[in-house]
Amino acid sequence: MELMAIKSQDSIMTQEQNEEANLTRIEEPSSDYISSRGSSKKYIGLFAIWFILIIVELIGGIYSNSLSIYAFAGALLFNFVGICLTTVLSGTAENGDSLYITYGYHRVEIIGSLLNVIFIWILVFILTYKGIFRIWRDEINEIHNFTWIAVIGLLGNVIIKLLQKKAITFRPSTSFDLWQGVLVIFTSVLIFLDTKLSSADPICAIIIGIMLLYLTIPITKECIEILMEKVPREIDINELYEELKEITDVLDVHDLHVWSLTFGKFAMTCHLATFNPERVLGEASKICTEKFDILHLTIQIETPDDNSKCLNLSSS
């Protein structure tokens, strides 16, 4: 937690102390980053199983000439890239702060998530175009039986679901993959029973594409909100304001800003007017960290005279 108080003599450091603190913060990796690197190594087995499953599904799609298998592989790839970005980039962000990028590389995770979403949109467009083209032109090519490929995909997803429950929680959900696996198996059995129903394959691919688009909507929306520095959904800024205002000896609260550095990491700045800076600073930091889970704080303490000057500057 980073905490700064203006007008509090006990919390003012000399220039040499500031330089030493900055150098220490830049040169030493944080404990969170070290644990993140350890977690990455710990879950290599999970990543390996996931990657192998994607390769198997892609090969199966080539063999069977099935668009639904390609779409299923795309859904697996979306979640796989999502967990890789969350695990790897979050560790990089924790260790990436410097004198010039003072908040670190937290937004790299947001950029990576948006690129992953754009990739999925392109994939969905291609699959939908090919699916509609096959149906419209009545060019349903010979499709080999792909039931066993779909079954392997579904079983692999179940294993991944069990492993990730024991290991880590990440943003993309494998629940959609499980339902997509069931849909692909149903489609493959339908075509196996009657080859005249081969159009069910591109229709299945289009349905999976729609499901993928639906999955990307909340992620895209949250990424945009973070880049626009909107107040995080998890925090009620009115409640936070009232909590700070009700602290004993706090005369005024203004210039309150709350935003997200990345998913689940919040930052806040505010001005508090008081005659009792040390106690108010301690209580304010406790409220922010314990009740609202805001760990990056910058609180400026002001006297009533300074407060009136600050308000005049803000209004001018």
pLDDT computed for residue 284 by the predictor: 93
Indicate where the chain has its CATH 1.20.1510 domain(s): 43-227
pLDDT computed for residue 130 by the predictor: 87
> Which residue numbers in the chain have pLDDT < 70?
1-43, 86-98, 137-144, 164-177, 305-316
Q: Confirm whether pTM is higher than 0.85.
A: no
Token pair belonging to 24: 């220490």
Integer Cα distance of 274 and 272 in angstroms: 6
Nearest to 262 by CA among 237, 296, 238: 296
pLDDT computed for residue 179 by the predictor: 81
Percentage of the chain lying above the pLDDT 70 cut: 71
Nearest to 310 by CA among 7, 85, 1: 7
pLDDT computed for residue 15 by the predictor: 38
Order of strands, sheet of 265-274, starting from the edge strand that comes earlier in the sequence: 250-262, 265-274, 296-302
Token pair belonging to 264: 């689940």
pLDDT computed for residue 101 by the predictor: 74
CATH class of domain segment(s) 232-315: alpha beta
The CB density around residue 223, as the number of other CB atoms within 10 Å, is 21
Q: How far is CA 299 from CA 3, 136, 271, in A?
A: 7, 63, 6
Residue 185 carries which side chain, given as an amino acid letter?
I
Integer Cα distance of 301 and 250 in angstroms: 10
List the CATH code of the domain at 43-227.
1.20.1510
Chain centre distance of CA 41: 20
Integer Cα distance of 8 and 284 in angstroms: 14
How many residues are recorded in the chain? 316
pLDDT computed for residue 32 by the predictor: 37
pLDDT computed for residue 31 by the predictor: 35
pLDDT computed for residue 137 by the predictor: 67
Indicate where the chain has its CATH 3.30.70.1350 domain(s): 232-315
pLDDT computed for residue 61 by the predictor: 84
Contact 181, 157 (CB under 8 A): yes
pLDDT computed for residue 175 by the predictor: 64
Contact 129, 118 (CB under 8 A): no
pLDDT computed for residue 139 by the predictor: 55
pLDDT computed for residue 221 by the predictor: 93
